[in-house]
Chains A and B, each alone.
Chain A
Amino acid sequence: GENVEQHPSTLSVQEGDSAVIKCTYSDSASNYFPWYKQELGKRPQLIIDIRSNVGEKKDQRIAVTLNKTAKHFSLHITETQPEDSAVYFCAASINSGGGADGLTFGKGTHLIIQP
Chain B
Amino acid sequence: DAGVIQSPRHEVTEMGQEVTLRCKPISGHNSLFWYRQTMMRGLELLIYFNNNVPIDDSGMPEDRFSAKMPNASFSTLKIQPSEPRDSAVYFCASSLSVWKTVNSPLHFGNGTRLTVT
List residues of A whose CB falls within 8 A of some B CB: 1, 32, 34, 36, 42-46, 49, 51, 89, 93, 95, 97-108
Check B97–A44 contact: CB distance below 8 A: no
Least CB distance from A106 to B in Å reads 7
Q: If A103-B45, A104-B45, A105-B43 touch, does A34 touch B106 (CB 8 Å cutoff)?
A: yes
Check B31–A108 contact: CB distance below 8 A: no
Q: If A46-B105, A108-B42 touch, does A99 touch B110 (CB 8 Å cutoff)?
A: no
Report the stretch among B15-23, B48-56, B68-76, B77-85 that lies at the interface. Answer: B48-56
Q: If A44-B43, A44-B108, A49-B105 touch, does A97 touch B100 (CB 8 Å cutoff)?
A: yes
Interface residues of B in 81-105 (CB under 8 A from A): 91, 95-105
